[in-house]
Chain A
Amino acid sequence: DVKVTQSSRYLVKRTGEKVFLECVQDMDHENMFWYRQDPGLGLRLIYFSYDVKMKEKGDIPEGYSVSREKKERFSLILESASTNQTSMYLCASTPGQGYEQYFGPGTRLTVT
């Protein structure tokens, strides 16, 4: 079974802190994604990566950056957390086009 893990299920941070969310997949997938999920807005794509050291902006990249130094790991970085970044963050991976995306369990981030 494909496994996508995320470093924390729940996280509480203060405004202005730098926040790292880690995602690891164990199936050698090329493609990895970061989404946030908010009530009424569904899942929105923040950043994605098709290969190591490669990244592309999604629909809402402002306030975020990413890092992919190894194939299995995709990190989401909040340079200076703000209260409007309080959300559920979901990581996903897929082997390629036409295949389903496999999601991690999510990290519920609260910024106070």
Chain B
Amino acid sequence: GQNIDQPTEMTATEGAIVQINCTYQTSGFNGLFWYQQHAGEAPTFLSYNVLDGLEEKGRFSSFLSRSKGYSYLLLKELQMKDSASYLCAVVKAAGNKLTFGGGTRVLVKP
């Protein structure tokens, strides 16, 4: 089976930094995705990590440690439009199936 855990909700101030953690226990692993989902909209792709380390993409960065079963998404210079849910999803060793965590709702306050 697969357990994927992330915090339910986080609040941060505009301009600040927020780190969303994701821990997983899987029977196989072939990568980890982060998606952003605004209320009432479809999830959109943010990042994909398959090797250990940090991937930076503008204000967003994602980190993976396979040995620890741990990833985080780092959002820098927060903007009001970053208020959304952030979904962590793990790919099993075979195939394209994603298993999602429950999502983390981030609220950015002025």
Contacts and interface: CB of A to CB of B under 8 A. Distances in A.
A103 interface: yes
Nearest to A41: B102
Report which residue of A33, A43, A94, A99 has the largest number of chain B beta carbons within 10 angstroms of its beta carbon: A43
Interface in A39-76: 40-45, 48, 50, 58-59
A100 B33 contact: yes
A101 B100 contact: no
B7 interface: no
A97 B100 contact: no
B96 A42 contact: no
Contacts of B99: 45, 59
Q: How large is the interface on B (under 10, 10 to 19, 20 to 34, 35 or more residues)?
A: 20 to 34
Contacts of B41: 105-106
Given A97-B30, A97-B96, A42 B87 contact: yes
B44 A103 contact: yes
B100 A43 contact: yes
A33 B103 CA distance: 19
Contacts of B31: 98
Contacts of A59: 99
B91 interface: yes
Interface of B: 8, 30-31, 33, 41-45, 48, 50, 87, 89, 91, 95-103
8 contacts: A4-B42, A40-B8, A41-B102, A58-B97, A96-B96, A97-B30, A98-B91, A106-B42
Given A33-B97, A43-B89, A103-B44, 20 more contacts: A31-B96, A35-B100, A40-B102, A42-B87, A42-B100, A42-B101, A43-B100, A48-B97, A50-B96, A90-B42, A97-B30, A97-B91, A97-B96, A99-B96, A100-B33, A101-B96, A103-B43, A104-B42, A105-B41, A105-B42
